[in-house]
Structure 1
Amino acid sequence: MKLKNKVAIVTGAGSGNGRAIALRLFEEGAIVVVADMNEAGANETISQAPEGSKAMVVKVDVTQKDQVDSMVAQTIQEFGKVDILVNNAGIVAFTPFLELDEKEWDKVHDVNLKAPFFCSQAVAKEMIKAGNGGRIINITSVEAHRVVSSSGHCQPHYNSSKGGLHMLTKAIALELSSHGITCNAVAPGVVQTPFTEKGLEIPEVKEWVLERLPVGRIGQPQDVANAVLFLAQDEASYVTGSTLVVDGGWTIH
């Protein structure tokens, strides 16, 4: 097992990519803190873990610093350390630029950018205390690197939040490198999750997506989870400040 006895926190682990990431880490022997606002979803994730897996559910709003600090404190109290943090929690909103209001702008940036800052800072402090290095992995998006236009409009708040997380990844990597802590990102393209399923059920939408995927298939949460697993391993200790794009070739064009 590649992550035996490693302690990981995965945010947004109650469904979709987060669930797949948590389950993949479980499979490799990690102890996983399944963090999500949806406590029922988090418990469902744990119910799917291999028999004998060690886990803890933490109900948390990652946009609230006090709740993030409590999540990390609970992890330390229960398991004594944090080796891996996966900042997966995120939201997407589709309001066009000219109709976008301040409330929605702030909400998207709070979840997609401020929350990973809170979580990374809190966890990094504990990693430095322990002195054993660590792995911070941010889930960004191909839309951190290119604007995708759909139905005549884009997602400026989503693009900018994920673009900000892309650069935050690099800044954290540089500052924490002397402590043996790496910080990298995984940038998924179109992945079939509960969030995207409805759109992908529309034939013309699915066709539009598949036309842009050289590999000829829609991504699955397991594809994202496998990328996270690579970056979480000791074998990836020489990789930091990088982004692993998992998009089926979408950004080749």
Structure 2
Amino acid sequence: MRLDGKVAVVSGSSSGIGLAVAHAMLRAGAKVVFSSERPAESLPELTASLDPQSAIYVAANLLEDGQAERLIDAAWQQFGAVDILVNNLGTYREPPLLEVTRQQFDWIMHLNVWSGIALTQAMVRRNVAAKRGGRILFSTSLNGSRSEPLHTLYDASKGAVNALTRQLAIELAPMGFTTAAVAPGLVETPLTDMGLRSDAAGRQAVIDQIPVRRIATVDDIAPWFVFLASDAASYSTGCIVTVDGGLDAQQMALRPITEAEKSFG
């Protein structure tokens, strides 16, 4: 579970799961490049807390051509390597199916899927030239294999990320790279609030459908990325690790929950 001597780049790490993953890798001994599209001056608390000897922040809008290469180059220039790439960037923006436009489809697929491909290309090209391998991780979702209403674009993008994790494992193994993905269920982040903090009854209805009877925190998720990036997981590639409090194991989430079940939780 230690990452001493390794360098990690974490996209989408100014908040939420990405921020927790970047900090967890830093605590595990890695040198870390935090990144998002937000300018550094808009993140004073984050940037002020980083010691340039072990962590930097690089603003990079991965919707723009050339930004993936610039981000990887910045990591090499600062720390002399990239051993771990965490493709965490992604979002949820969803109209009803009959209102989905091609522009909306292209935007979500670009952000949630292509940004990971572009960063992976940039890392692999640079590492192969330096005769190095590496570990490539993805943030996916339970929605990549299970679905819910009004999630056409998000679920399709996360299904693509799952497939990409498996495909890259096959294509990149001969070059010394391994891949893995973490698929959380519902996690408490700014992106997934959806009114759950202000709607006590709605929040409880969600919690009652999770077998462990609580919504995940980012600290429930981040250690899995550290483990998958570590040498302890070096023989695993192409795996998608579900961390969802039992949601995927449950057959009938909407059936009535008995008082006995609630008290047991």
Query: Does TM, normalized by the shorter one, top 0.5?
Result: yes
The question of whether the paired residues in 1 share the 8 Å contact of 2:92 and 2:191 is answered with no
Root-mean-square deviation (CA, aligned residues, Å) is 1.8
- The alpha-carbon deviation at position 98 of structure 1 amounts to 0.6
Q: What secondary structure is seen at the aligned counterpart in 1 of 2:66?
A: helix
Aligned to 1:196: 192
TM-score, with structure 2 as normaliser: 0.88
Show structure 1 runs of 5+ residues with no match. none
Correspondent of 2:222 among 203, 213, 225: 225
Identity %: 36
- The alpha-carbon deviation at position 52 of structure 1 amounts to 8.1
Q: How does 1:76-155 map to 2 (within 5 A)?
A: 76-149=76-149, 154-155=150-151
Whole-Å separation in 1 of the counterparts to 2:53 and 2:212? 34
Q: What secondary structure is seen at the aligned counterpart in 2 of 1:218?
A: coil
Aligned to 2:258: none
Aligned to 2:28: 28
Change (3 A) 1:16 1:48: farther
- The alpha-carbon deviation at position 125 of structure 1 amounts to 1.6
Q: How does 1:46-65 map to 2 (within 5 A)?
A: 46-48=47-49, 54-65=54-65
2:169 maps to a residue whose letter is: A
Show structure 2 runs of 5+ residues with no match. 251-265
- The alpha-carbon deviation at position 47 of structure 1 amounts to 4.2
Whole-Å separation in 2 of the counterparts to 1:169 and 1:45? 30
Aligned to 1:45: 46
The question of whether the paired residues in 2 share the 8 Å contact of 1:19 and 1:45 is answered with no
Correspondent of 1:214 among 211, 216, 220: 211
Whole-Å separation in 1 of the counterparts to 2:83 and 2:123? 9
1:71-103 deviation line (CA, Å, top 9, x unaligned): 111211221110000000101013110111222
Q: Does 1:162 align with 2:158?
A: yes
Change (3 A) 1:140 1:42: farther
The question of whether the paired residues in 2 share the 8 Å contact of 1:35 and 1:42 is answered with no
1:144-166 deviation line (CA, Å, top 9, x unaligned): 001113xxxx2111111110111
Whole-Å separation in 2 of the counterparts to 1:98 and 1:203? 31
170-179 vs 135-144, greater mean Cα deviation: 170-179
Aligned to 2:260: none
TM-score, with structure 1 as normaliser: 0.92
- The alpha-carbon deviation at position 116 of structure 1 amounts to 0.5
The question of whether the paired residues in 2 share the 8 Å contact of 1:43 and 1:57 is answered with no
The question of whether the paired residues in 2 share the 8 Å contact of 1:13 and 1:45 is answered with no
2:154 maps to a residue whose letter is: Y
Change (3 A) 1:238 1:42: farther
Whole-Å separation in 2 of the counterparts to 1:157 and 1:33? 29
